[in-house]
Structure 1
Amino acid sequence: MTKLGISVGILATVLCLSVRAQTIDIIALDQDGAQTILQAAKERAQQRSAPSAIAVVDPAGDLLSFQRMDGVRPASADLAIEKARTAARLQRSTAEIEDSIDQGRTAFVTAGIPVLRGGMPIRVNGAVVGAVGIAGLSKETDAEIANTAAAALSPSPRTGQRR
């Protein structure tokens, strides 16, 4: 009985330790954060006179928030979502991916990954918490709006607080 009791105790200790070792802390993008990103993108698009479709996704690429501004082509809705999804899942901007293809890394094309500029991961404390995708006027404008929007959750240099 004593050996059985000791064995059970050791087993319970090992199982408890391994459970603790298998957990991680995750920062999640909530609806308030998604709306902050969406609003930043919309404001920048309005400043640039560049109506856009704007998509915000979680790290898995699932849609959290979306807006299609007036005057945007219908196909831009799907493009914005796909750009955001690609940036989230690959954890890098779609501009980087497009540049890789332009430099001969054509495997991205055969993988069926949308690689148009305008997708940008959203990072908080270095971790990807989602991504934003912009489709509207031009690839350069889309990328610039996405960069601005993705930075909307960055700490302010003066206060260290979210904007």
Structure 2
Amino acid sequence: MQNLLQIACIACLVVATAATAQTPASQPPAGGTPDKMPFDIPYGTAIGLDTAKRLLAIAEAEAKKHDWKMNIAVVDTHGDLLAFERMDGAQYASIAISQNKARTSARFRRETRVFYNQFETGHAYVSTLDAGLVASPGGFPLVEGGKLVGAIGCSGGTGDQDAFVCKAAADTII
């Protein structure tokens, strides 16, 4: 019995020593510390309704080329809706999704695919950042002259289809 107790104590000591040896003294910060603020796009004057309608038309034309039925939303720099279009036959669930993709992109000043990539690589905290955040491809900031002037979001197809359609419109802003 005494031998069993000694063996058990030695086993505990070995396991504790091994665990301590594998634990680094200090954990590195999550993702490292960048020298510059990421996605630090300054805000500009929001696009107007005419530009928003033009972007809707460009995105719709791109979607029609591929026979993709999309919901398309354009928002201002705050993420508030400027213009929206639901193509015939586009799924109803994607109405809110397209608007939230555009809102997410405007408010966080980045493509929504960034959040998708973070979520897919195990960064579950992304879902806690904002109740309306969409971590799915298809939301693009609109940057004119180096300043954020709005955002566009598309939904109705796959994430890559949504992104393809919205990027066609977003790329026309210079």
Tell me which interval the TM-score lies in, with the shorter structure as reference length. 0.7 to 0.9
Question: What are the ranges of 5 or more consecutive residues in structure 2 without an aligned counterpart?
Answer: 1-41
Counterpart position of 2:161? 141
Match of 2:173 among 145, 153, 156: 153
| 1:5-55 deviations in Å (ceiling 9; x for gaps) | xxxxxxxxxxxxxxxxxxx99432011111111111101111111010000
Compared CA separation, residues 39 and 106, structure 1 to 2 (3 A): same
- The runs of 4+ residues in structure 1 deviating greater than 6 Å are none
Q: How many equivalent pairs are there?
A: 131
Counterpart position of 2:109? 91
Question: What are the ranges of 5 or more consecutive residues in structure 1 without an aligned counterpart?
Answer: 1-23, 155-163
Match of 2:143 among 120, 123, 128: 123
Counterpart position of 2:79? 61
TM-score by length of structure 1 reads 0.76
Aligned-residue identity in percent: 34
Structure exhibiting the larger radius of gyration computed from Cα positions: 2
Give, in whole Å, the separation in 1 of the partners of 2:155 and 2:110: 17
**Counterpart of 1:63 in structure 2: which amino acid?**
L
Q: Is the 8 A contact 1:123 1:130 kept in 2?
A: yes
Give, in whole Å, the separation in 2 of the partners of 1:119 and 1:25: 17
Q: Is the 8 A contact 1:36 1:152 kept in 2?
A: no
Give, in whole Å, the separation in 2 of the partners of 1:27 and 1:84: 17
Give, in whole Å, the separation in 2 of the partners of 1:105 and 1:120: 21
| 1:97-124 deviations in Å (ceiling 9; x for gaps) | 1111212322111233221211110110
Aligned CA RMSD, in angstroms, stands at 1.6
1:77 aligns with 2:98: no
| 1:50-76 deviations in Å (ceiling 9; x for gaps) | 010000000101000000000111111
**Counterpart of 1:108 in structure 2: which amino acid?**
V
